[in-house]
Amino acid sequence: MAFSPEQIHKLASLAKLRVEEEAVEVISSQIDNIMQLIDQMEQADTSGITPLSHPQDPVLRLREDVPTQTDMRDEFMVLNEHSEAGLFMVPKVID
């Protein structure tokens, strides 16, 4: 299957990436090649097989409901240049 430029742009927009117009062709052919490799999966008969999400099928461990947090706000805020008044700042969000 070949990827249309629209498909590439749609994927890129879901992933918040930009694909420049001049790169669309190269990227779609690369992804095409990868998908051809992936399509080899069709060779396997997987009917009746349960999907495997976690190696060895473990069960979730649950922890006790005890807060043990220490206040790390100051350490977090210095991780970027944009924070103000203890808040992470982004361009204005309009709903």
Helix or strand holding residue 31 (H, E):
helix 21-38
Interface with other proteins, residue 67, by CB under 8 A: yes
Interface with other proteins, residue 41, by CB under 8 A: yes
Please, what is the minimum distance in Å from the beta carbon of residue 56 to other proteins?
6
Interface with other proteins, residue 1, by CB under 8 A: no
Are 19 and 12 spatial neighbours (Cβ–Cβ below 8 Å)? yes
DSSP label at residue 51? P
Which residues, in sequence order, are CB contacts of 9 under 8 Å at separation 6+? Answer: 19, 24
Interface with other proteins, residue 95, by CB under 8 A: yes
Q: Which residues bind other proteins (CB under 8 A)?
A: 8, 10-18, 27, 30-31, 33-44, 46, 49-69, 71-73, 75-77, 79-82, 84-95
